[in-house]
Structure 1
Amino acid sequence: MNKNNYKAHLALFGANLIYGINHIVAKGVMPTKIGASAFVFLRVLFAGLLFWIIKSFIKEKVEKKDFIRLMLSGLFGITINMLLFFHGLSLTSPIDASIIMTATPVIVLILSIFILKEKITTNKLLGITIGAIGAFLLIWYGNKVIGTSSTLGNLLIFLNACSYSLYLVIVKPLMIKYKPFTVISWVFLFGFIFMFPFGINDAIHTNYSLFTLHTYLTVTFVIIGTTFLTYLFNIYALTKVSPSVSGSYIYLQPVISFIMVSLYAFILGNNEYANDINMIKIISCLMVIVGVYLISRKKPIFKIFKN
């Protein structure tokens, strides 16, 4: 591994480490201190401003015909994606959310088959089936156990993964045509415009006087860490490694969430998350991971069983 690839892998690890931590950190202030819609409003507003400050140093024009695709990218990649994720996270377990998000590569493939006419293989069909069963099992299991799991919350997280996957398919041609910062800046601008009517009322009526230092630190972490830095890390990594390598790092998120929940439950004594780890969730996670492995495997899986 050369020096540049080493830095790219370090950036990917950092981005997914932040994502994994975010599942439990962001949930800690919702909805007691701030509502999901208000949180998304602040996240998109301030992270978008940071992106546009950097974009001001990049002189690149966008063709008129590409603005429709940018608008759709903002709608599915920012507005719908973030609103569904934060509302879902406020209702369900951080463990469930992190596991369901690993289904994103499976959903991307399904959408690519219909939208980009990507060829389907036996491996991909098996991967889609196993991964889908794992995700469905976790969603259905949401209200069957003690803990913070929720069927509605899990369903919202799954729909968020679908929206984000659609965004990845839509935005792909733009990332090839323009500089990443140009694309992301416009995506965040359109995302903010679409999100404005859903978040402005909650943002205005949030009682900021109830915010503690912990609340401010959490909001800052989500804006700068989970949004701004993760996008920067992913942009840098994609200039050095393939999207498939980048996507594989998503499997770190449930591992990190498992560790964070374990720390909260068994070391810090937070009993709220003590029942969030069980065998069904571990099996669901493994099924999704196996599904994505099959999708990414080029050689037919059946050759494994041959002498």
Structure 2
Amino acid sequence: MGNTAKAHVALFFVNALYGANNIVAKDVMPAYLTPNVFIAFRVLGATFLFWLVSLFTKREKVAKKDLLKLAVCGIFGVAVNQLCFFHGLNHSSAINSGIIMTLNPIMVAIMAFFILKETMNTIKITGVLIGATGAVFLALQSDGTDGSTLFGDILLFINAVSYAIYLILVKPLMQKYSALTVTTYVFTFGAMYVLLFPQTLIDFTLIDFSSIPFGIWLRITYVIIGVTFFTYLLTMYAMKFLSASVTSTYIYLQPVMVIVFAYLFYAISLSEDYTKSITAIKLLWMCVIFAGVYMVVRSEGIKKRFKR
């Protein structure tokens, strides 16, 4: 198997890990951990692992002026992003979370227009409007009967927006430093913000950690190592052989993987039954979002061909 093929396999596993995470994390909250405590475990654990890996790589010196930029990236890429995702997942369904995350490329296109002053052609604008329409109607399906709420879906949407802002802000830093250096510092600042969030420390005092079953600890470990650490390493490997645009398109696999794992985990009794939240109308709006995202990505390809 060539390097390109291995890179595609790596990205498939990245999004499979993310897809499973929506089911795994849902089983942990709120019965055993509050979203705030779960976030603290994930961010602190990942930060430790990133610094551990950095000990075995060449250390890069970061300019003082870039530390502020990394600190801002820590706000949007870790603190706001994680807080909104886990609280959103806690108040929504695993299926909705996977679908709403596919809006990220559209959010990146919008942020690039306002922040980086990138042009918006007719195809891209149409794709943004179609994707936004699908997201709005998907959110309107959240009536609480499947565990989802409008509040939860709004938080998941803010999560997508926050991560889009992070991708725009971190782009110049990624061109200046290695991905490992940038991510390590971003997570370090993000961990500081999470710990400074008052409710996090309060929640820690309210949880009886001795009563948490071993199986739940395994799920928590999976989120820290599998969903945060390994996904990052696999993505870095894939980006050595594939373009960023190809890498980003794999996010569209996430809702599909969430649905697959919802059925699989329930069939082998590893999770509750989340398949009841999979409805025909949700799948319809998922396809509408896919269509919008496809048009946005397609417009990038057309723009590149005209530049040649």
Do both proteins adopt the same fold according to a TM-score greater than 0.5, normalized to the shorter chain?
Answer: yes
For the Cα contact (< 8 Å) 1:88–1:153, is it kept in 2? yes
* In 1, Cα distance between equivalents of 2:267 and 2:221: 27
1:69 counterpart = 2:66:
no
Larger mean CA deviation between 55-64 and 160-169 belongs to: 55-64
CA distance 1:236–1:203, change in 2 (3 Å): farther
* Counterpart residue number, 2:248: 247
* In 1, Cα distance between equivalents of 2:254 and 2:45: 24
* In 2, Cα distance between equivalents of 1:11 and 1:201: 39
* Counterpart residue number, 1:133: 133
Q: CA deviation at 1:270?
A: 7.0
For the Cα contact (< 8 Å) 1:39–1:203, is it kept in 2? no
Q: CA deviation at 1:170?
A: 0.5
Moved over 6 A (4+): none
* In 2, Cα distance between equivalents of 1:223 and 1:25: 12
- The superposition leaves residues 240-269 of structure 1 with CA deviations (integer Å, 9 ceiling, x where unpaired) of 211111111111110011112223556759
* Counterpart residue number, 2:306: none
* In 1, Cα distance between equivalents of 2:16 and 2:270: 23
Larger mean CA deviation between 198-207 and 132-141 belongs to: 198-207
1:44 counterpart = 2:13:
no
- The superposition leaves residues 12-64 of structure 1 with CA deviations (integer Å, 9 ceiling, x where unpaired) of 11110000000010000100001000000011111101101111232210111
For the Cα contact (< 8 Å) 2:42–2:224, is it kept in 1? yes
For the Cα contact (< 8 Å) 1:18–1:225, is it kept in 2? yes
* In 2, Cα distance between equivalents of 1:134 and 1:287: 5
CA distance 1:34–1:187, change in 2 (3 Å): same
CA distance 1:202–1:271, change in 2 (3 Å): closer
CA distance 1:299–1:52, change in 2 (3 Å): closer
* Counterpart residue number, 2:305: none
* Counterpart residue number, 1:168: 167
For the Cα contact (< 8 Å) 1:42–1:203, is it kept in 2? no
For the Cα contact (< 8 Å) 1:147–1:274, is it kept in 2? no
Identity %: 42
- The superposition leaves residues 191-242 of structure 1 with CA deviations (integer Å, 9 ceiling, x where unpaired) of 0111112223323432101110111100000000011111111122122211
1:228 counterpart = 2:258:
no
1:154 counterpart = 2:153:
yes
CA distance 1:177–1:139, change in 2 (3 Å): same
* Counterpart residue number, 2:208: 207
* Counterpart residue number, 1:187: 186
Runs of 5+ consecutive residues of structure 2 not aligned to the other structure: 303-308
* Counterpart residue number, 1:304: none
* In 1, Cα distance between equivalents of 2:265 and 2:244: 33
* In 2, Cα distance between equivalents of 1:263 and 1:185: 34
* In 2, Cα distance between equivalents of 1:201 and 1:191: 18
* In 1, Cα distance between equivalents of 2:44 and 2:214: 21
* In 2, Cα distance between equivalents of 1:224 and 1:167: 22
- The superposition leaves residues 98-122 of structure 1 with CA deviations (integer Å, 9 ceiling, x where unpaired) of 0000000000000000000011011
- The superposition leaves residues 49-101 of structure 1 with CA deviations (integer Å, 9 ceiling, x where unpaired) of 11011112322101111112101111100011001101111111100000000
Superposition pairs for residues 47-62 of structure 1, below 5 Å? 47-57=46-56, 58-62=58-62
Superposition pairs for residues 91-102 of structure 1, below 5 Å? 91-102=91-102
Q: Which amino acid aligns with 2:240?
A: T
* In 2, Cα distance between equivalents of 1:202 and 1:154: 23
Superposition pairs for residues 116-127 of structure 1, below 5 Å? 116-127=116-127
For the Cα contact (< 8 Å) 2:121–2:299, is it kept in 1? no
* In 1, Cα distance between equivalents of 2:19 and 2:90: 15
CA distance 1:219–1:245, change in 2 (3 Å): same
Q: Which amino acid aligns with 2:105?
A: P
Q: What is the TM-score of this pair, normalised by structure 1?
A: 0.93
* In 2, Cα distance between equivalents of 1:63 and 1:270: 46
Runs of 5+ consecutive residues of structure 1 not aligned to the other structure: 302-307
* In 1, Cα distance between equivalents of 2:4 and 2:170: 24
Q: Which amino acid aligns with 1:122?
A: T
For the Cα contact (< 8 Å) 1:90–1:153, is it kept in 2? yes
> Aligned Cα RMSD in Å?
1.9
Superposition pairs for residues 283-294 of structure 1, below 5 Å? 283-294=284-295
* Counterpart residue number, 2:24: 25
Q: Which amino acid aligns with 2:255?
A: P
